[in-house]
Amino acid sequence: MTKMEKPANFSRRSFLKTGGALVVSIGMPIGAETLLSLNQAFAQATATRPPLVPNQLSSYVAINADGTVSAFFGKMDMGQGLYVSIGQMVAEELDVAFEKVTVYMADTRTSVNQGGASGSTGIQFGGKQMRAASAEARRVLVEMAAQRLNLPADQLTVTAGAVHAKADASKRATYAELIGGRHFNVELEWNKQMGNALYAPGKATPKDPKDYKIVGKPIRRADVAPKAFCTEPFVTDVKRPGMVHARMVRPPVAGASIVSIDESSIKGIPGARVVRENNFLAVVADKEWDVVKAMGALKVQWSDAKPPFINQAALYEHIRKTPARMREEGKTIGNVDEAFKSAARIVEAEYEWPFQSHACMGPACAVVEIAGNGHVTCWSGTQKPHFLRDGIARTLGVKQETVDCIWVVGPGSYGRNDADDCGNDCAVIAKAVGRPVRLMYTREQATAWDPKGPASIHRARAAIDANGQVVAYDFLSKGFSRIDVNTNGSQPRDTLAGHFRGVELRSGDNFGVPSESYAFPSKRMVWETIPPFLERASPLRSAHLRDPVGPQIHFASESFMDEVAFALGIDPIELRLRHVKDPRDVALLKAAAQKSGWETRPSPRKGQTGSTVSGRGIAYATRNGTRVAIVAEVDVDRTTGKIWARKFTVAHDCGQIINPDGLVHTIEGNIVQALSRTLWEEVKFDPRSVTSVDWQSYPILDMTEVPETIDCVLLNYPDRPPTGAGEGAMRPVAAAVANAVFDATGVRIRQMPFTPDRIRASIS
């Protein structure tokens, strides 16, 4: 976590005098600084804005002069409607109409670092903080009203943004009257953490869920129309006066360094010039088309680097054979090795998952402007603007408060994509040329050079006794690290700008093991990581890709549960229900079975003839408190090998549901993207570099391949804390499909993705 070195420069924070419809603040500074000269009757209110620090209530919520509410959110919505849920939580606690709340997010000028989009914690952690802050704001406002009305606070209540006596609604003071246009000046009890873990509650206790009027309601997003009518810019549309355009030049063989550059090769292109620092190489021109031409025309002699990779066919063998750089054993139950020695039968299998790319819809784009006073502003599509701010400050060697990062919606983000590299690259170029710079990557760079979801193998074993009981379960994940480069761009060592410029590196180690509540007499779960093929500036450096390592691990573990059920000759859900211990997981599995009309029987399905065979498969997983069970129903064309995942039934439990409408859309997006990763996605490479460079060489799911139906069963636990939904439903998809393919064909396929070629080869 980044520590705040110093309170941010709060004078730069601007404030909205009036609010309006709930829309996301995009891009540009927020309104004008307008402070009302009301008398300062209360210590809790101040005319000048307190510093933007985590332990100040004003850092999260403000009441505007017209009584509308501004919520300053240090996490962000990447397009799933999270901001609506945050607005609901804020409105609920403050007892104001939902329409009165505007959520400002992902802008270092207006919010503290709550972690950006990270780990599906937008509601779980980010919402928790916004809820606590809003509850505290309400408490403070009631206290202020008590003073003004000369009534005890416990005789007051709030209706629609007005505090009034419970017994006499005419004795009232509106929020606007109490503090409108000024700022809260109330200290919170900050846990001294930044990012996801930040928590700073006040003295107030948030509402009892039974009193909710706004939370739990389906409220629609307001950010669709601006996109449909093109009234808001994307990050690609940000323009600054005097701006020049830039493109990066990457080596043809990973690891090669620059021997020489023939700058005369771009001489005829207006304004074209080279920016180089060590092996960091960019071209710049006044016009975008000119820089595209310059990028193609620039003659660079690269060193004769030894190809750093291997033949892709040997990938999984490489993972198997390479000594682990780090090994971590989770909580082991019982004596696993003894149990296997005395087993009547052993079921064992190994599963393989390739590198995958974020492959966002467009290449990353960033604009960086360094003002005359040295202040740096970056406009980026990053999902972690506060961390990108910190990274740019370090890259440029300036103080954190000298830099601001403003998120503007970009071409999607699903973890540590190319946006953070782009922002840092752009800052280096802007400093070198002394003008505002817009840098856009190319399609090839977006697919071939983004940080990759790590490739892995997974080995599972089950010991079965003479009575047909599973007595031991042993699981190993082994793969490239999920943090070879870290999950944000806050350190130059984790960015391509740092790698190419030659900063000291530090590759991190982490992977993971299955997350479920299966109980066996003995159980062992281990992960191991291996070093990257190439330490510096590798197009196969690995990092977080949506639900980091979740799909890999649970493809293996949940396929394996079906393999055990098959070995025992029992129904796959029956096996799970025998061993799942958490009552919420039991309820979940039963809900999925019931809603899908699950027929209890062992797999595979018998007696299917003809070219197309059908099957169904179950898979379940948990994720930081969220649980998801999925039934997939597939058709497999045995001639072409093509799979159509016709229907998914998703039972979803993320505790307290804030917005069921947003939740269903989020689940659908998870399922379809996970299905794409299951059926198509595999980063191709040769010994020299990554060869997946576009949509031909990195195909994804298309419209003709999407399911006919995604049925959701939302299990709501209003009294439980809300957990995340941004990634959980992605986790069991691959295994549910794999189990359905086995049910249909009787063939177990243990290597991803399930392309027609692989399926055809496997079942013939």
Residue numbers at the binding site for another protein (CB under 8 A): 78-81, 220-221, 223-225, 227-234, 236-237, 239, 287-289, 292, 359-363, 409-414, 440, 442-443, 661, 665, 668-676, 694-696, 700-704, 706-707, 710
What is the smallest separation between the CB atom of 703 and another protein, expressed in angstroms? 4
Strands (DSSP E) contained in 697-749 are 709-715
Q: What's the CA dihedral at 549, 552, 554, 560 to 10 degrees?
A: -150
What is the smallest separation between the CB atom of 711 and another protein, expressed in angstroms? 11
Contact 153/101 with Cβ under 8 angstroms?
Answer: no
Residues 6+ apart with CB under 8 A from 399: 5, 6, 393
Nearer to another protein, 415 or 532 (CB): 415
Nearer to another protein, 412 or 625 (CB): 412
- What backbone phi and psi angles, to 5 degrees, belong to 45? -120, 150
What is the smallest separation between the CB atom of 634 and another protein, expressed in angstroms? 17
Helix residue ranges per DSSP H, 493-542: 496-501
Q: Give the closest residue to 638 by CA, choosing from 501, 760, 493.
A: 760
Nearer to another protein, 166 or 220 (CB): 220
Fill in the DSSP letter of residue 208. Answer: P
What is the smallest separation between the CB atom of 623 and another protein, expressed in angstroms? 18
How far apart (Å, rounded) are the C-alpha atoms in residues 421 and 327?
29
Nearer to another protein, 177 or 668 (CB): 668
How far apart (Å, rounded) are the C-alpha atoms in residues 116 and 474?
36
Nearer to another protein, 269 or 619 (CB): 269
In the sheet that holds 456-464, the strands lie side by side as 326-329, 522-530, 470-480, 456-464, 345-353
Q: Write out the H or E segment, with its range, that includes residue 62.
A: strand 61-63
How far apart (Å, rounded) are the C-alpha atoms in residues 545 and 415?
5
Nearer to another protein, 135 or 663 (CB): 663
Q: Write out the H or E segment, with its range, that includes residue 389.
A: helix 385-396
Count CB-CB contacts under 10 A for residue 609.
Answer: 5
Contact 92/61 with Cβ under 8 angstroms?
Answer: no
How far apart (Å, rounded) are the C-alpha atoms in residues 194 and 735?
35
Angle at 723 between CA 722 and CA 726, to 5 degrees: 125
Nearer to another protein, 492 or 662 (CB): 662
What is the smallest separation between the CB atom of 682 and another protein, expressed in angstroms? 16
What is the smallest separation between the CB atom of 620 and another protein, expressed in angstroms? 21
- What backbone phi and psi angles, to 5 degrees, belong to 628? -140, 130
User: What six digits make up the tokens of 616?
Assistant: 């169904």
Q: Give the closest residue to 682 by CA, choosing from 319, 350, 352.
A: 352
What is the smallest separation between the CB atom of 565 and another protein, expressed in angstroms? 29
Q: Which 3 state secondary structure label does DSSP give 6?
A: coil
Q: Which 3 state secondary structure label does DSSP give 459?
A: strand
What is the smallest separation between the CB atom of 670 and another protein, expressed in angstroms? 7
What is the smallest separation between the CB atom of 490 and another protein, expressed in angstroms? 23
- Report the Cα–Cα distance between both ends of the chain, in Å, rounded: 52
Number of residues assigned to the chain: 764
What is the smallest separation between the CB atom of 271 and another protein, expressed in angstroms? 14
Nearer to another protein, 110 or 236 (CB): 236
- What backbone phi and psi angles, to 5 degrees, belong to 595? -65, -35
How far apart (Å, rounded) are the C-alpha atoms in residues 456 and 479?
4
Nearer to another protein, 61 or 123 (CB): 123
Contact 643/743 with Cβ under 8 angstroms?
Answer: no
Nearer to another protein, 153 or 706 (CB): 706
Which sign does the torsion angle of CA 381, 383, 384, 388 carry?
Answer: negative
What is the smallest separation between the CB atom of 179 and another protein, expressed in angstroms? 34
User: What six digits make up the tokens of 358?
Assistant: 């974020």
How far apart (Å, rounded) are the C-alpha atoms in residues 141 and 57?
12
Nearer to another protein, 264 or 696 (CB): 696
What is the smallest separation between the CB atom of 391 and another protein, expressed in angstroms? 22
What is the smallest separation between the CB atom of 545 and another protein, expressed in angstroms? 12
Nearer to another protein, 311 or 695 (CB): 695
Q: Which 3 state secondary structure label does DSSP give 444?
A: helix
Count CB-CB contacts under 10 A for residue 243.
Answer: 18
What is the smallest separation between the CB atom of 488 and another protein, expressed in angstroms? 19
Strand partners, 629: 620, 651
Nearer to another protein, 173 or 630 (CB): 630
User: What six digits make up the tokens of 455?
Assistant: 């490739």
Nearer to another protein, 441 or 560 (CB): 441
What is the smallest separation between the CB atom of 613 and another protein, expressed in angstroms? 21
Nearer to another protein, 233 or 508 (CB): 233
